[in-house]
Amino acid sequence: MKIQPESGKVTRRRFLKTLKNGVIAMAGACLYSVCIERFWIAIREQVIAFERLPADLDGLRIVHFSDVHAGHYFSPQHLLKVVGQVNGLQPDLICFTGDLFDSRVEDAKEIVSALSKLRSRLGKWAVLGNHDYRSGSEKVAKVLSQAGFQLLQNQHGAAGSLEKALYIAGVDDVLYGKPDLQQALRGIPEGKFTILLAHEPDFADYAGGFPVDLQLSGHSHGGQVRLPFIGPILTPEYGQKYPDGLQKVDSASLLVYTNRGIGTTILPIRFFCRPEITLLTLRSASLAAGRNNL
């Protein structure tokens, strides 16, 4: 009589089969994260209503992207595809929140050529990130300028010809620069709607004490690797409290939106954390209330 093994007993064959399946699953996950997901850009749309938003700005479309990390397994050809996707969204305003390069400036002419093709009626605005300083901040600033971006280093500007209804401010990088929000906001008339560009999202805890309506940031990559029910397994310094998406700052009216970024750093992988182009549509809360009362 043949004796069957106990159902709960781990036999050598069962162990090897489980190990084989685990190796196959791990290899598949690695292949997916390296070859598929990190190039599978998501268009994330977010509608945000503001009390202070002037009626003239109702419906304003802002495209926000960040953390290209060109040179780290991300080529100018890949960037051209991003540019095409951004232009397809027909933005009124384009904001880039830092880390154009990963560790050094390379393919500068091709990067300038690609970014120069971005189109928006109210301009292209940018700040530097920590990797831009590692790459050489002056060189990165030159690339952005040649591509038609207005680089904000503790400065602000009025967007387009909206009778100075919308102001864009930007601060220097927290980790390697010298951010000065007071200097960046100095001269903006009281009560004007203001968007702040700051590479590190956790800067919002400080910015919440100033007359800023919306902060746009990057830096965290959304964690780059996320697990179901857990979220990001690792986030960088100053990118831990507000690592992804739209959040309200504690004890302040400020909202911060953190973009997951386009490229990668350290390892060229993304898992459950697709690269992102954000389309933000701003709405006037007063107009929305009026529409609801009709």
pLDDT (tens place) for every residue of the chain, 294 residues total: 454 555 556 676 665 555 455 555 455 567 788 899 999 999 999 999 999 999 889 999 999 999 999 999 999 999 999 999 999 999 999 999 999 999 999 999 999 999 999 999 999 999 999 999 999 999 999 999 999 999 999 999 998 665 568 999 999 999 999 999 999 999 999 999 999 999 999 999 999 999 999 999 999 999 999 998 889 999 999 999 999 999 999 989 999 999 999 999 999 999 999 999 999 999 998 776 555 554
- With beta carbons less than 8 A apart as the criterion, state whether 147 and 100 touch: no
Residue 273 lies in a domain: yes
252 DSSP β-pair partners? none
Residue 129 lies in a domain: yes
Residue 237 lies in a domain: yes
* Spatial distance between the Cα atoms of 43 and 35, rounded to a whole number of angstroms: 19
Which CATH number is 116's domain given? 3.60.21
Residue 9 lies in a domain: no
Residue 11 lies in a domain: no
Pairing of the two strands 255-258 and 245-248: antiparallel
Report how many domains make up the chain: 1
- Our measurement of the distance from residue 60's CA atom to the centroid of its chain's CA atoms, rounded to an integer in Å, reads 19
* Spatial distance between the Cα atoms of 63 and 90, rounded to a whole number of angstroms: 9
Residues with Cβ within 8 Å of 21's Cβ and at least 6 positions away in sequence, in order, are none
- With beta carbons less than 8 A apart as the criterion, state whether 49 and 286 touch: no
Alpha-carbon torsion (210, 213, 218, 221), positive or negative: positive
Q: CA of 158: how far to CAs of 127, 155, 172, in Å?
A: 16, 11, 18
Residue 153 lies in a domain: yes
282 lies in which domain range? Answer: 41-292
Alpha-carbon torsion (191, 193, 196, 201), positive or negative: positive
* Spatial distance between the Cα atoms of 165 and 189, rounded to a whole number of angstroms: 10
Residue 54 lies in a domain: yes
Choose among 275, 287, 291: nearest CA to 85: 275
Greatest Cα pair distance in the chain = 93
Residue 81 lies in a domain: yes
- Our measurement of the distance from residue 186's CA atom to the centroid of its chain's CA atoms, rounded to an integer in Å, reads 26
